[in-house]
Chain A
Amino acid sequence: MSDPSFFEWLSTSPWANAMNGPEWAFPLVQSLHFIGFAFSIGTIAIVDLRLLGWAMPRQSAAELAADLAPWTTVGFVLMLITGPLMFSADAVTYHNNASFQFKMTVLLLAFLFHFTLHRRATRAGVLPLTAKFAGGLSLLLWTAVVAGGRMIAFV
């Protein structure tokens, strides 16, 4: 697919060695990854449920999206640090892993959607059907990201 020497180099990098060092390093970083997605996907899900009209009827989607955005970002940052760290620990294997490739593809789509159409759908004056569609698609995309991530260990 691409230059394998990059992934070999990555898996012998100092941070990969740190990840492969003490037994607790990997599970600890993985736990931080989980806490990261509770922040990011959890706060996105709150906005999605509002867009669908299922939760938080007393606040508008625009208000919720604005209030939650910093916490979504906290989660993204945590995930984008811990994810690549875990990837580095066994870069050659992961980059050939079908679930990993699936996860990265859906993650890219989820990010693109989140910062473009999803963001516009949270604004005031959006048609209810558009809002519902955006909320549903967002939940579906992030669910696929988590599911793809879980499957990495099983293929």
Chain B
Amino acid sequence: MSIPSLLQWIESTDLSTAIREGALPYPIIGGIHLLGIALFGGMLLMTDLRLLGWAMRRVPVSDIVRQFQPWKWAGFMVVVASGLLLAWAEPIKLYRSPAFWVKMALLALVGVHALVFRARVYGNTTELDVTVTGEAKLAAAISLLLWAGLIISGRLIAYDA
């Protein structure tokens, strides 16, 4: 199956049509996508700013990383699931949107970030309670940049074509 015909098939599914053409589904799913950013973005920000030594310095790094982790994970799932539904609604438009591909590239880098830093930084917080390593600070700074890039590229999709 070629890519154009695959995208056309997606757009022809009932789910895709319902999200695209109904009055309510698109803004509601978009709202959930945004709420995921609002409610869990703060935890990502505070985790990274704590690693950088700028926020919540009274609280041990291990407390912050461990206690936020399940919520951040849940939030990420909410954002990804709602994002997939939004993408399912208009795959042809997204395929042609440069901002969408920038966003996907950044998302791939989020995966690389996890592979590189997850075990050594976010899974190694007992050591970070003593001193926050340079590596942990680098991980936090990259994480913040990726997150901001995802928001900006995501918003730019609406203005492509």
Contact = CB atoms under 8 A, between A and B. Distances in A.
A67 B45 contact: no
Contacts of B63: 56, 58-59
A27 B156 contact: yes
A31 B35 CA distance: 14
B58 to A, nearest CB: 6
Given A24-B156, A34-B155, A35-B151, A42 B56 contact: no
Contacts of B123: none
Given A58-B63, A58-B67, A146-B31, A30 B45 contact: no
Contacts of B34: 34, 146, 149-150
Interface string B14-51: 00000000010011001100110111111111100100
A45 interface: yes
Contacts of B31: 146-147, 150-151
Contact of B155 (A27, A39, A146, A151): A27
Contacts of A27: 152, 155-156, 158-159
B55 A41 contact: no
B73 interface: no
Interface residues of A, number: 38
A34 B159 CA distance: 16
Given A27-B156, A55-B71, A154-B26, A41 B42 contact: yes
Given A55-B67, A63-B58, A147 B35 contact: yes
A52 interface: no
Given A30-B155, A38-B41, A56 B35 contact: no
A86 B146 CA distance: 24
A154 B27 contact: yes
Nearest to A45: B39
B1 interface: no
Contacts of B55: 67-68, 71
Interface in B45-78: 45-46, 49, 55-59, 63, 67-68, 71
Interface of A: 23-24, 26-28, 30-31, 34-35, 37-39, 41-46, 49, 55-59, 63, 67-68, 71, 139, 142-143, 146-147, 149-151, 153-154
5 contacts: A35-B151, A38-B44, A46-B43, A59-B63, A68-B56
